[in-house]
Structure 1
Amino acid sequence: MTLSGIGVAGCGRMGAPMLASLLKAGFDAFGYDVRPASDFAALSPHMRPLDAFSQDLRILITVVRDIAQTEDVLFGAQNLATAPNLKTIILSSTLSPRYIRDLRPRIPPHITLIDAPMSGAAIAAEESRLSFMLGGTDATLDAHQPLFDAMGAHFHRMGDYGMGMQAKVLNNLLAASHTAMTRLVLNWADDAGLDETRLLNLIHTSSGQNWLASGFDEIEFARDGWAEDNTIGILVKDVASALDAAPEGADLALPETVQSAIRKLAPRPKSGGAP
């Protein structure tokens, strides 16, 4: 399979560095975003208006925020599911697994679907070391693996189409719980007079170790408060995706409590009191 005509739809915090990684690896790749190309600095020459993006598109990678934006990309304002030369859609947004499964009958049967949500935050995207959770047949994933190799460092084949997204929302449910609890622990430590850096160093090598605490000074949203349009807000959406795919009759009290705690997060100043 020839890997050309690779379009990244949604060139924001994650999509832009993913496009940059594909270009660095030598792929015929280009981007589309609702923002003008002039907003994208070095990537501006590789951003295309919708008509040109659609015409040249063979492999679509979607990296938009949520289901509503995915609907726009595939069927609504952009309507890229009908692009004339489209062969593959790679879904890298974190979405409800139910929605992902329900997409299959809505997409023309000649178009291959891969669910490939990723983890690692913007720093991992910028350094081409994302972790991908992949859903699809081995033959399909083998054919597209060079694209994932260009953007990532860890690849987890979780099963058939839809299983990558199921794994991702469960992973993000843990990430959300770590975020809520790590921030609570740091606030309580402030009240007790503990030094933030010393405590984070302790956590990194002790039983409380988790991804957010270990990368607290690198992860760009670690100190953010909740807002509808930021990454903390996305975590609330990701918990909702996990809840949507919860087993019938499951006890939802703990994930709903985590979701509520994240909604209440206020910005945390840098160690030493600097904003």
Structure 2
Amino acid sequence: MAAQDEVHTWAFIGLGNMGGPMALNLHRRLPASDEMLVYDTDISAAEMVVEEASAEEVCTSLLVHKGSPRPGRLIIDCSTIDPVTSRRIHRILESTGFGTFVDAPMSGGVVGARAATLSFMVGGTEDTFRRVQPILNRMGRNVVHCGKHGTGLSAKLANNYLLAINNLATAEAMNFGVKAGLDPLILARIINSATGRNWASEVNNPVPGVDKAAPASRQYQGGFASALMNKDLKLAITAAEQVRAPLLLSQAASDIYGKLEGDKRYAGLDFSAVYDYLQGNEKAKL
């Protein structure tokens, strides 16, 4: 993607549950004279975006064409990969004059993507951040400069590691309380007004019926897939090993999310389905 005062052609690659709404939010905030190119390996996803924005003349194309160098080109990577690979990509693109590369993974889920309330964690120089910030503000609410290249990804992986642990702990605590005779609504209210409160307990509670807006109340459909959480968890563990940072709870979390990903019943469901898994695996050893 490129800043509108420099290049008036924009490109967006990856139009899934997150990318599609992000691309549409970005497009809606561009001048009518700008052109936007979209691409996805699933052509139907690209067609859906084009159809929704058809009145605004969006066309489909590859993200870059002919791989030509262009000093003013700005490439923003919002995917979640390992920081080492991201820094390597940055060096290659910078050295070949292909463009300026920045890592900018986001948090906020599908709901945040649709509402343009995502939080972006940016790794790059201060000058690059100044170029990136107004672009990302079109798709999100919080845009934070984390530091040098790769630090945006480190921040995202640290956050998702904590999220994985909080989700697992919340599922265990709720399972424990319910089996001890507590009404899940009462238990959730206690936790969310006490020191155990966290995002998994308050916003994405894993017990069906506690929060009607949470995936748990929709048979765990939608949200962040268990397989994706396991992928991010593996990336976080590898990244922590590279900087010699101990993650003492990683083995337990890796075991359980690995089981969810390997089970066709759970791999595509929201990662809060770990609660349902615990319900059916009373003797599961984490």
TM-score with structure 1 length normalisation?
Answer: 0.76
User: What root-mean-square deviation, in Å, do the aligned CA atoms of Structure 1 and Structure 2 show?
Assistant: 3.0
Instruction: Give the stretch that moved more between structures: 39-48 or 188-197.
Output: 39-48
Q: d(CA) in 1 for partners of 2:40 and 2:172?
A: 36
Counterpart selection for 2:238 from 240, 244, 264 = 244
Q: Does 1:123 align with 2:111?
A: yes
Alignment-derived partner of residue 93 in structure 1: 79
Q: Structure 1's 16 and 154: CA in aligned 2 closer, same or farther, altered over 3 A? A: same
Alignment-derived partner of residue 250 in structure 2: 255
Specify the structure having the higher radius of gyration (Cα). Answer: 2
SS in 2 for 1:168: helix
Query: Which residues in structure 2 correspond to 1:1-275 (within 5 Å)?
Result: 1-2=5-6, 4-26=8-30, 28=34, 29-35=36-42, 36=44, 37-40=46-49, 42-43=51-52, 45=54, 48-51=59-62, 53-55=63-65, 82=67, 87-107=73-93, 108-216=96-204, 217=211, 218-220=213-215, 231-247=225-241, 249-265=244-260, 267=273
SS in 2 for 1:16: helix
Aligned length: 241
Q: Structure 1's 223 and 109: CA in aligned 2 closer, same or farther, altered over 3 A? A: farther
- Asked if the contact 1:121/1:220 (under 8 Å) is kept, the reply is no
SS in 2 for 1:154: strand
TM-score with structure 2 length normalisation?
Answer: 0.73
The aligned amino acid for 2:226 is: I
The aligned amino acid for 2:237 is: L
Structure 2: which 5+ runs fail to align? Answer: 205-210, 261-265, 267-272, 277-286
- What is the Cα deviation at residue 84 of structure 1? 6.3
- What is the Cα deviation at residue 113 of structure 1? 0.8
The aligned amino acid for 1:20 is: L
Q: Structure 1's 141 and 208: CA in aligned 2 closer, same or farther, altered over 3 A? A: same
Q: d(CA) in 1 for partners of 2:170 and 2:249?
A: 16
- Asked if the contact 2:77/2:103 (under 8 Å) is kept, the reply is yes
Q: Structure 1's 181 and 41: CA in aligned 2 closer, same or farther, altered over 3 A? A: farther
Can you list the C-alpha shifts for 1:212-261, whole angstroms capped at 9, x where unaligned?
222124454797779xxx62211111111112212455444421221212
Q: Structure 1's 134 and 259: CA in aligned 2 closer, same or farther, altered over 3 A? A: same
